[in-house]
Every structure is written in structure tokens, then in C-alpha cells.
Amino acid sequence: MYLLRYARGSSVWLILAALCLISSISRADVIVSATVTQIGSEFSYDYSVENTGTVSILGFFVTVDASVDQVLAPNGWDFGTLVIGPQTIVQWLSSDMQFDIGPGQTLPDFIIMSTAPPGIAEYSALDDDFNFFNGQTVGPQRSQVTPEPSSMLLFGTGAIAALTGWRQRRRSR
């Protein structure tokens, strides 16, 4: 009791809290690798999920900035897509504990098919303790339209002409 009263005013509590946070032993760490293959006008994005932690992985999610044509899942995994504006969230969930990605295991064949070329995609993995682990990988991305210099010149000339006409009308009043 005396030790607790003494420690209350010191930094011992902070040290104990930090040790508790550092010593968490159940955790899933994830490494996601992607292989992109072009098949005609479509791109195939094949993800492998490696679990380097101590807890099984039961969910894998990829958020892409493009439309998705087809999704395939490894054996024992279910998938779905959710479209929110220009983004598509592809989600894979293990259908049973026997199909989870166990510690030290790698599971390939999380596949997305899209006509969009490669870009940056966000991913999340969900472990058995319901912790999310996030990162970036390769995924479909809408191509950004960049105006040509001649288009910008034409736009600028039109804007100057409109501004000049507006000022002349204003002066004539």
C-alpha cells in the first residue's frame, strides 16, 4: 500500500502503462504482396497475405479507386464488394476457423480483375482479436485526365476574352 501511495505522484505509472502496451503478446502482423498481370485489356491483381504475427487473420480488405469487374477468393473464403462513390471496397472473409491465415502462414489467390491500370490501393487485415492492420499495395486506379497545353491555352484565351467583354459592358453603363 505504501508503494502505491509513493508511486502515485511519480512516473512509475507511466512506465508500467508503457510496459503493458509493449508486452502485448497476441498480435497479427501482415505482409501483403501483389502480382499484376495484364490479360488483353484487363488487369489481374493477385494478392498474397502473409501472417507474421501470433494471431490468425480472418479478414482481408482492399480499397481501390476504380471499378472492379470480377473478384475471386481462396478456398474457404467468401468475398463481397461495396461501391462508395468512385471507390470500391473488396472484402474477403474466412468462412471458418480452419481457413483462417494462421501465424507463420501465407495465403495467395485473393484476386481482383479490372480494366483500370495499376496504382496505389489501401488494404486492411482483420485478426482474431478484431484488430485492423492497414497498409498500401498495388491495385486498380482510375486514370487521371490531364489537360493538354493547347486546351489550357484555349481556356485561358476564352477567360481573358470573357473578362474583357464584361469590363467593357460595365464601363459603357
- Residue 58: what pLDDT? 94
What is the residue extent of each domain of the chain? Answer: 27-140
Residue-level pLDDT at 106: 95
27-140 folds as Immunoglobulin-like (2.60.40)
Cβ neighbours of 127 (radius 10 Å): 24
* Segments of the chain scoring below 70 in pLDDT: 1-28, 142-159, 161-163, 165-167, 169-170, 173
pLDDT in tens, 2-34: 333 344 444 444 343 333 333 344 445 899 999
Return the SS3 of 53.
Answer: coil
Q: Kindly report the backbone phi and psi dihedral angles of residue 81, in degrees, each rounded to the nearest multiple of 5, phi listed first.
A: -130, 150
